[in-house]
Chains A and B, each alone.
Chain A
Amino acid sequence: MSKKLLSGPYLIWMAGFTVIPLILILYYGLTDRSGAFTMANVVSIATAEHAKALWLSMGLSLVSTVICLVLAYPLAMILRKRNVGKGSFVVFIFILPMWMNFLLRTLAWQTLLERNGVINGILTALRLPTQSLINTPGAIILGMVYNFLPFMVLPIYNVLCKIDDNTIYAAQDLGADFWQTLFRIWFPLSLPGVISGITMVFVPALTTFVISNLLGGSKILLIGNVIEQEFTRGSNWHLGSGLSLVLMVFILASMALIAKYDKNGEGTAF
């Protein structure tokens, strides 16, 4: 099978619809309205509001990513123990919520978290004090964790499944206790999956804007909000592109991480 024939369609597609659009963003990011070259758009990340938005976004996504990791790892370990051989079922259980539209799912959290919402309704019925859950940074983190958890669980689960039980038994035979096996066997072997999960959660969480609008009461300005507004309301594609270029730094960093720790593509989600 000629390699060229096989890869041809994809290469053309990639060139036309991945590379060229990026070049366009590069173009818009480095020019201003009159078409002159300028670094102003990119440098504008340093202005007070933009920098703050970026820090906030990074903070929130970092917290969300860590929470996802902490939740997902034990989960993946438990699932691995229970479901050897029925791998695809696990995948489906986590992909299934994604079949319900993302906006509706986030909106449903509003119903759950609102002052007169379901959770507070339950608390009231149990004679407990109501909580002010929505329109807080906590709600945004909840939304992020909720939406991105599957992307953390699946890669880790996949990579854990590949770990041979015998390796674990051997370690235990040699006298390792739970924590030692965890840190010396499980973690290193699952690193590709963990890295994959982290990048699949951190980067999208960094650029989301719907979640901060619906669950954060639009009170918190994240970098995703800024970019969205510049492209839609502000009609300033140049600024929006410039800021996007800055975000690309994160994407490149993630790609570098993946290249270093997951050379063989073991840490995929599927």
Chain B
Amino acid sequence: MKKMFSVILGGVVLAAVLGGCGGKAGAGKAGSAGEVYVYNWGEYIDEEVISMFEEETGIKVVYDMFETNEDMYPVIEAGGRTYDVVCPSDYMIQKMVENNMLAELNFDNIPNVSQIDPEYMERSRSFDPENKFSVPYCWGTVGILYNTDMVAPEDVPTRWSDLWDEKFSGEILMQDSVRDAFMVALKSLGYSMNSVDNAELEEARDLLIRQKPLVQAYVIDQVRDKMIGGEAAIGVIYSGEMLYIQEEVEAQGLDYELEYVIPEEGTNVWIDSWVIPSNAKNKENAEAWINFMCRPDIAKMNFEYITYPTPNKGAFDLLDEDLRNNKAVFPDIESLDNCEVFQYLGDQVDSVYNNLWKEVKSN
């Protein structure tokens, strides 16, 4: 036992030392120009970019990640951890604005905001009416992904209601998120995805309950890996995954394709933007960060890593023609006519949604 103890001790010390040596010496080095605390989605940045930012500005970056908007919100609200710049989604930004949790941006410090395509600044107004609080980072749509091998040509899905087709029983992957799941149901019924009408919501809930036996699983980003692995025939997915999927299908030499479809009933256009919480301690450094993110070459680097569509016109222009014409990644604006952006519906309605979702899950 004693021997085991000393050997473990030695091993731990060795590993701790190794751990400190390996990897770039990012930890522990105090920035000359202060720090900035960044809170972003997981796998939502090229790590190179962080080091480049630190080198060019001398600001040390403390980088943290969250999985969903709903995980992020209580953290910012509780204030136990303070972040300087955060990247929430559209409706969450609206919620934070209405709860006075965000600081107005000083655009003098963010000249690169001009690189963002005005189209997206315009769309941002549905949750940030005067573009005072946010700068778009990534955007995309939500659609149906299907496996060309497992779905016969005549059965190719074109509408959300195709996800209720008995033919696909056990082959359907739905998003494990209350708003996204309800969006699919509401849109297929012809209602707005921002509905606050109890009757409409209950109808959507019943529809989801009816779908449940046909659903293979409720997942979030695992849709991508499962579909690549041929585990299911159709799934609901974010457009941003398409580039990665196309590359992986080729890399693995699979004999089926995975195609993306924007359903006829219309879908959700989402925008993730950078915001600064009102309790941020390093506001100017945060603005420098946002400015850096808007630089075309940086936005391009991020795009190539994350593969989610970029709203940055400057970066878009730097891309290959093939990519610019890739409709799955950059759909035509016209095809997005009956698409909506998620809105924050208020705590009361949120509770209603949450309770209805619980009912769906527990059935």
Binding site for B on A (CB under 8 A): 48-49, 52-53, 88, 114-116, 132, 135, 213, 217-219, 221, 225-226, 229, 231-236
Contact flag A235-B359 (CB < 8 Å), given A116-B231, A218-B176: no
Asked if B331 is at the interface of the complex by the 8 Å CB criterion, the answer is no
B74 touches A235 (CB 8 A): yes
Contact flag A233-B70 (CB < 8 Å), given A114-B231, A115-B231: yes
Q: Write the nearest CB–CB distance from A209 to chain B, whole angstroms.
A: 12
Could you list 8 A-B pairs, sorted by A, with CB under 8 Å? A115-B230, A213-B176, A217-B217, A218-B176, A219-B217, A219-B361, A221-B361, A235-B73
Q: Within 8 Å CB of A232, what residues of B?
A: 70-71, 74
Q: Write the nearest CB–CB distance from B345 to chain A, whole angstroms.
A: 14
A88 touches B1 (CB 8 A): yes
A53 to B360, CA, bound (A): 12
A48 touches B362 (CB 8 A): yes
Q: Within 8 Å CB of B219, what residues of A?
A: 217-218
B70 touches A52 (CB 8 A): no
Residue in A closest to B218 when the chains form the complex, CB atoms = A218
A48 to B362, CA, bound (A): 9
Residue in B closest to A217 when the chains form the complex, CB atoms = B217
Q: Within 8 Å CB of A88, what residues of B?
A: 1, 4
A88 to B70, CA, bound (A): 45
Interface of B is mostly: helix
Q: Within 8 Å CB of A48, what residues of B?
A: 359, 362
Q: Which of B74, B212, B226, B354 contacts A219 (CB 8 A)?
A: B212
Residue in B closest to A92 when the chains form the complex, CB atoms = B4
Of the listed residues A135, A219, A226, A236, the one surrounded by the most CB atoms of chain B closer than 10 A to its CB is: A219
B362 touches A53 (CB 8 A): yes
A236 to B231, CA, bound (A): 35
B354 touches A233 (CB 8 A): yes
Residue in A closest to B174 when the chains form the complex, CB atoms = A218
Q: Within 8 Å CB of B226, what residues of A?
A: 114
A221 to B4, CA, bound (A): 43
A162 to B73, CA, bound (A): 53
Q: Within 8 Å CB of A225, what residues of B?
A: 361
A48 to B360, CA, bound (A): 12
Q: Within 8 Å CB of B178, what residues of A?
A: 233
Contact flag A234-B229 (CB < 8 Å), given A52-B362, A88-B1, A217-B218: no
Q: Which of A49, A115, A219, A231 contacts B358 (CB 8 A)?
A: A49
Q: Within 8 Å CB of A226, what residues of B?
A: 358
Q: Write the nearest CB–CB distance from B147 to chain A, whole angstroms.
A: 12
Q: Within 8 Å CB of A219, what residues of B?
A: 212, 215, 217-218, 361
Q: Write the nearest CB–CB distance from B118 to chain A, whole angstroms.
A: 34
A235 to B226, CA, bound (A): 30
B74 touches A135 (CB 8 A): no
A49 to B358, CA, bound (A): 7
A114 touches B229 (CB 8 A): yes
B216 touches A233 (CB 8 A): no
A219 to B363, CA, bound (A): 9
Closest A-B pairs by Cβ, 8 of them: A217-B217, A233-B70, A218-B218, A49-B362, A221-B361, A221-B362, A49-B358, A218-B176
Q: A88-B1, A233-B354, A235-B74 are in contact. List 17 more A-B contacts (CB 8 A).
A: A48-B359, A48-B362, A52-B362, A116-B229, A116-B230, A213-B176, A218-B361, A219-B212, A219-B361, A225-B361, A226-B358, A229-B358, A232-B74, A233-B178, A234-B351, A234-B354, A235-B77
